[in-house]
Every structure is written in structure tokens, then in C-alpha cells.
Amino acid sequence: MTDHQQTVFITGATSGFGRATAERFAAAGWRVVATGRRTERLEALATRLRNDGADIHIATLDVRDSDAVQKVVADLPAAFANITCLVNNAGLALAPEPSQSVDLADWHTMIDTNITGLVNVTHALLPALIRTGKGASIVNLGSVAGQWPYPGGHVYGASKAFVEQFSYNLRCDLLGTGVRVTDVAPGLSQTEFTLVRTKGDQSASDRLYSGTDPLQPEDVAAQIFHVATLPEHVNINRMEIMATRQAWSPFAIDRD
């Protein structure tokens, strides 16, 4: 592997968008720092990508733990320390029921992961990204739920609205550094999202994707790679992606 290689740092790389993003960047010859909470999945990913000739470093990480985030960044091997792209993918949705029926702990978990975790990782890696300068990118995984409300969206949608506004505000603060920021906001995607949200209800997940053609993780990974590899003078502020077979619904109306 040569020294001119670029390095991507990915959170939540154990499944879904994160894993597909690691595969996409590795296939293009980037060094990959893959992080996530499930060590065995990280190890399996690393083995597979190394067998394909990729240069990958893995670290078990819960993004909610700011001290752990700082340590993972500080302990990066020299070959992986010059970060070109940060993909803030770690996040989750819980509690699809109405707000008045939700366990408060589920709200806290979403806030701690989707907001606090995003902030922890971004803050830790900003110095490295600014050192890289022109061509560096921060790609934050938002959601259509950040702009389009729906029943049961409550804190999840609000947390993704935070991702959008945080991305815009980062753009303002990073003006002149060369570092780009993009909010990538997918719609209906066939990942572990619903399985996690329903705490393991496979039938609920199967029903959501049945009879339609949702986005696949590789579709979203391709767009993440696209925005991270544009000419250095180009910044896509926000990219909202839906499956062709998904659109918006009319307003709900309560009638007598």
C-alpha cells in the first residue's frame, strides 16, 4: 500500500450503510478505519476486506462514550491517522409507537447515539480533517425523517433534523479550511433499521419491505463515496435519497 492513499473513518460499520460504505471505499483503494460496537462483526469485515487486498484498521467503539472516542482517535496507527473522510453513520431508531406510549429510556438512547455520538466523533476528528484540508469531507447520515414527520417519528426524526442543521452549521465554521460537509438523508432502506427499532421483530421488518423495492445499503454507500470524491471545490450540502417506489403521503386529518 502506498503513502498517497486516502483514509476514511466510518462509525457503525458492522452492518447496513456503514458496512457497505467500508466495502465501497476499500474497493476503490482507500484505507478504512471501521468502528462499531460488535467486535465479531468488525473482525469478520476486516478479514474479508483484507483477503481482497484492502488496508483496514478496526476498533470496537460506542460513540456515546466520548473518552472512548478520543482514545480510538489517539491510538490510530500512523498509516491511518491522516483522515480524508469521516462518515458519521452510527445511529438508530427505537420505539415506533406514539410518543405517549414510549419508554423514556428509548428517547435517551436515540439522543445519546444519534446526536451525542455524532458530536463526539466529529469533535475528535476535526483537527485531523482540517490538517488534511482541501478535499476532506464529513458525511453525516441523516434521514428523510429529519424533514418529513410521520407517526412514531418523535425523537428519531428530531435527531435527524439535528444532523441536518449541525451539518449546515459545520459548513459555516469550516469555511476556508477546505473541509466539506454533507448530510446524506436516505428514505426507505432495507437494513437492520426496523429490526432494531422493533427490538427484534423480524415479521415487522419483513412487512415493511414486502412487495416493494427499497434502497439497498450499497445504493447509499455509492452516494457517500460520490460526495466524498467530488472535485475539491464542490460541496453537496444535502442529498435526500428515496427509492423510486417511495413518495410522500397526504396530510392526516382527524374527522368526526
End-to-end alpha carbon distance in the chain? 68
Catalytic residue at 156?
A: yes
Q: What's the longest Cα–Cα distance across the chain?
A: 69
3-class state of residue 239 by DSSP: strand
Strand partners, 138: 86, 181
Alpha-carbon distance 129 to 55, whole Å?
A: 20
In this structure, how many other beta carbons lie within 10 angstroms of the beta carbon of residue 39? 13
Catalytic residue among 150, 156, 168, 209: 156
Alpha helices in 80-174, H assignment, sequence order = 104-110, 118-132, 154-173
Rounded Cα–Cα distance for residues 175 and 75 (Å): 28
Copy the grid coordinates of residue 228: 466524498
Helix, strand, coil in percent for the chain, rounding step 5: 45, 15, 40
Residue 117: DSSP 8-state: I
Output the nine-digit C-alpha cell for 42. Answer: 468488525
Nearest to 8 by CA among 183, 121, 136: 136
Kindly list the catalytic residues. 156
